[in-house]
């Protein structure tokens, strides 16, 4: 499934457990994110997965999935807070652009929980539809509605505005790293019309805007640093905020 045998084994186990829990409610499982798009780092990168069901997850399934994810982390502690799965019904996926459904999701820093599944997820579903790797089930293009490049870029632009507001309050260096690299990715996407990896986008910005080279290099270092190696962020936040505003000003 991937070029990492140990991750293949983890994915097989995850697929087996999801099939066991969902049984006849299971439609498909799709891998996306950096493991598919490129620049995956086995030490820090997340696993991004979309699980499609035939109907909404009920209370019993939710509890079984919660216990399954807890047990998976006990057996694979290096993947704690690094497995992201969205469990969404096929009907909610088909109508997500026009109405908000619900889905169960687990993500870094969040246990399995129920959240809305509306248009803000368009970038994720676009990535699954265009690049997703089928681990089980039909081609994702048969269950995810068509998403135009214009729709994709509009949501990229809308989400980029959030980071300008984010600069109104000082953040730690891990948060700064995420913001810098996410803004680089939005910038690249709007320039070239496709979703790159964060590293690919960061290197592109460094190459074309060398005045931000040192800050972007810092962001790449902070991304892999331990909590003990990171600073509070006050001394670097001003430059980070300036970069985000500069990048946002060029997104159009």
Query: Average pLDDT of 179-188?
Result: 97
List, in order, residues 6 or more apart from 139 with CB less than 8 Å away: none
What pLDDT is recorded for position 231? 84
What pLDDT is attached to residue 203? 96
Average pLDDT for residues 173-196, to the nearest whole number?
Answer: 95
pLDDT digits (tens, 9 = 90+) for 77-129: 999 999 999 999 999 999 999 999 999 999 998 999 999 999 999 999 999 99
In three-state secondary structure terms, 94 is: helix
What residues are paired with 106 via a beta bridge?
A: 85
Q: Looking at beta carbons, which pairs linking 101-106 to residues 24 or more positions away fall under 8 Å? A: 101/56, 102/56, 103/57, 104/57, 104/62, 104/65, 106/69
| Three-class SS state of 47 | strand
Give pLDDT tens digits for 55-74.
999 999 999 999 999 999 99
Sequence-distant (≥ 6) Cβ neighbours of residue 128 within 8 angstroms: 30, 32, 50, 140, 144
Predicted confidence at residue 232, as pLDDT, reads 83
- pTM for the model: 0.93
Q: What is the mean pLDDT of residues 172-189?
A: 96
Mean pLDDT over residues 151-173, rounded? 95
Q: What is the mean pLDDT of the chain?
A: 95
Mean pLDDT of 220-240: 93
Q: What is the pLDDT of residue 97?
A: 95
Note the pLDDT of residue 37. Answer: 87
Q: What is the mean pLDDT of residues 186-201?
A: 93
Whether pLDDT at 252 is above 80: no
In the chain, pLDDT over 90 holds for what percent of residues?
94
């Amino acid at each position: 499934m991937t070029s990492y045998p140990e991750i293949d084994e983890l994915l097989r186990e995850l697929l087996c457990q999801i099939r066991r829990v969902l049984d006849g409610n299971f439609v498909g499982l799709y891998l996306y994110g950096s493991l598919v798009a490129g620049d995956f780092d086995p030490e820090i990168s997340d696993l991004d997965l979309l699980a499609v069901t035939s109907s909404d997850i009920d209370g019993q399934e939710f509890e079984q999935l919660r216990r399954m994810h807890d047990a998976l982390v006990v057996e694979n502690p290096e993947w704690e807070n690094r497995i992201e799965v969205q469990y969404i019904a096929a009907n909610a996926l088909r109508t997500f652009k026009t109405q908000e459904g619900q889905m169960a999701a687990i993500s870094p820093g969040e246990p399995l929980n129920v959240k809305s599944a509306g248009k803000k997820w368009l970038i994720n579903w676009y990535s699954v539809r265009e690049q997703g790797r089928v681990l089980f089930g039909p081609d994702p293009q048969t269950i995810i509605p068509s998403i135009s490049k214009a729709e994709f870029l509009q949501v990229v632009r809308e989400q980029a505005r959030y980071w300008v507001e984010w600069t109104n309050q000082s953040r730690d260096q891990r948060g700064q790293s995420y913001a810098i690299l996410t803004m680089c990715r939005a910038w690249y996407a709007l320039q070239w019309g496709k979703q790159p990896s964060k590293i690919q986008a960061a290197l592109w910005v460094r190459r074309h805007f060398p005045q931000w080279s040192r800050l972007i290099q810092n962001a790449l270092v902070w991304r892999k640093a331990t909590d003990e190696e990171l600073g509070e962020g006050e001394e670097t936040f001003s430059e980070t905020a300036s970069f985000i505003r500069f990048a946002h000003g060029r997104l159009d």
